[in-house]
Structure formats: structure tokens, C-alpha cells
Amino acid sequence: MKNLLVILLFAGTATFVFSSCSKKNNAEKPSAKNYVLVHGAWQAPYVWDSVKTLLVKEGNNVTVVELPGHGSDQTAPSAISLNLYATTVLNAMSQIPGKVILVGHSLGGMIISSVAEQAPSKIEKLVYLAGYLPASGQSLFGLAQTDPGSELGQPGALIFGPDSLTVDVAPNDLISTFIQDGTPQAQNLVSQNYRAEPSIPLNQPVTLTAANFGSVNKVYIKTLLDHAVSPSLQNKMIAAAPGVSAVYSINTSHSAHLAKPDSVAILLTKIGQN
């Protein structure tokens, strides 16, 4: 990655061209950026481990947010809301001097949109990695219901708990929905770290304004083999959103950061320097 010259995008796939020449001096190295990475539903901070390592190797500052009710956090599902997710991200951002590049995967797209509404001046760019990119008044479930190409919308794909406070993905569908193209090791990570998803935030709409959310520069990374958030829905969300300055494509499943972390890290580096 240190010798990255250019990324060429063609035929819907990201192709990466490298130089064999080394940097002659530190002045040629791109300036460090502050990345804040937000994971999606049914996942946790581990999904960003490889991408974080690559970004840090390039001299960047990287913060990975653990959402309440995910990973090792034991917040009760009844206490979790979309606003709590946004507050968690805002608290992490407040510890970072200067502006941040805020990256959200899947559900994380809803969260970073809400954060941008509350703190637009703190954000250099919003980056949606197969992320839900809502309009004001939309919820994740509302958007998902318009996505017939998603495996999550098929009968029996989602299983709600008896109290409806959590929702599971049918075990037989987990890998095919999220990371059908991943290595066995990456697929095992998804299976071994799986937890039921708090359902309340999935039904809660965002409130967004042109003055705040609309003013923030946005970049979208499409995942062309996505079975969770279909490329068709991704295209519709991009077309409807204000301020999307660039769109990139990766020929991966929904979990691009696990299936092709090198490609994701290179794109995030490019986005940070443009």
C-alpha cells in the first residue's frame, strides 16, 4: 500500500496498480488521517481488525467503535436505541483532535448519518461501505423492505426473539448472506462472533436536515456481490442522497472488510487523500 499510485475502476470492479519504486523521503508520504470505523448489525469491532492494521501501517490514526449490545458489551437490548449508537460514536469522536473520516458498514450507515446531523463540522467525509444511506424519516427496516434482492427479506431469514427485542439470522443463512466469498477463516470469524441483534434501533427513523447532514461530503463503496444490501438498493440510496461526491465498487460480498480487507484499506486511503 505504501507504493500505491492509482486505483483504476472498470467493469464494476476495483483493480489496483502498484509501483515497485520506494518513497524517497517522508515528504512524499500522504498526511495522516483520523478514521473512525463503525461496524454493522450482527457483527462487532473484530470485522475491522485487518483494515485497521493496514491503515495504521500507513501512518493513520484509527478508532474502531464498539456499539452497545455488540462484541463484549452487555447493554440490555431494551436500553439500546439508534440515538445511543450515535452518542457512542460521538463520544469516540470527541477524543480525537481535528476532523474525522467516519466510515459505516451496513447498519453503520444509519448511525453515521445520525452522527453527521448532530456534528457535521467534526466530519471530513462520511464513507458508506455497503451502508444504509437514508433520507430523513427512514429507518433501516423501512429501507430493507424496499430491497427484494436481499436474502434477509426472504421468508424465514429473520427470527425475532419472544420479546421482539432481538432478531437473529437463520443459522443456515448466515454465511451465504454476509460473506459467501470469504476464506474459511473469515467465515469462521463471522460464525464464532455472532450475537443476536438488538431490534429497537432497526425500526427507528433518522431525522436529517440539508443544513447539517446534507452539508457533509459523502462517499459510497458499493459491494457488487452483496446478498444483504443488494446493489440495486445501494444504487437507489446513492441516487437519492445529497452530497455523494464519489462512488467506488468492489466485487465482494456484504462483508467486504473481511473478504477483501486490502482492497477496502486501499480505497479508504484513496478517499482520505482526495
Confidence of residue 31 (pLDDT cuts 50, 70, 90): confident
**Segment 104-149, tens digit of pLDDT:** 999 999 999 999 999 999 999 999 999 999 999 999 999 999 999 9
Instruction: Work out the average pLDDT over 241-259.
Output: 98
Give the domain 7-17+30-273 fold. Rossmann fold (3.40.50)
Confidence of residue 12 (pLDDT cuts 50, 70, 90): very low
**Which 3 state secondary structure label does DSSP give 91?**
helix
Confidence of residue 17 (pLDDT cuts 50, 70, 90): very low
* Conformation bin of residue 209: beta by default, left when phi > 0, alpha when psi is -120 to 50: beta
Answer yes or no: is pLDDT of 27 > 60.
no
The answer to whether the beta carbons of residues 45 and 63 sit under 8 Å apart is no
> What global pTM score does this model have?
0.89
Confidence of residue 29 (pLDDT cuts 50, 70, 90): low
The answer to whether the beta carbons of residues 169 and 160 sit under 8 Å apart is no
More confident residue, 25 or 222: 222
pLDDT at 9: 34
pLDDT at 251: 98
- In angstroms, how far is CA 20 from the centroid of its own chain? 31
Confidence of residue 30 (pLDDT cuts 50, 70, 90): low
Q: CA-CA distance, 24 to 153, in Å (whole number)?
A: 52
Q: CA-CA distance, 274 to 268, in Å (whole number)?
A: 10
- Regarding beta strands 244-250 and 218-223, do their DSSP bridges make them parallel or antiparallel, or are they unpaired? parallel
Where are any strands of DSSP class E within the chain? Answer: 4-10, 13-18, 34-38, 61-65, 100-105, 123-129, 158-160, 166-169, 197-198, 218-223, 244-250
**Segment 165-179, tens digit of pLDDT:** 999 999 999 999 999
Q: CA-CA distance, 175 to 199, in Å (whole number)?
A: 20
Buried b (16+ CB within 10 A) or exposed e, 13-42: ebeeeeeeeeeeeeeeeeeebbbbbbbbbb
Q: CA-CA distance, 5 to 37, in Å (whole number)?
A: 24
The answer to whether the beta carbons of residues 126 and 208 sit under 8 Å apart is no
% of the chain with per-residue pLDDT over 90: 88
**Segment 44-79, tens digit of pLDDT:** 999 999 999 999 999 999 999 999 999 999 999 999
Q: Where are the domains of the chain?
A: 7-17+30-273
Answer yes or no: is pLDDT of 19 > 80.
no
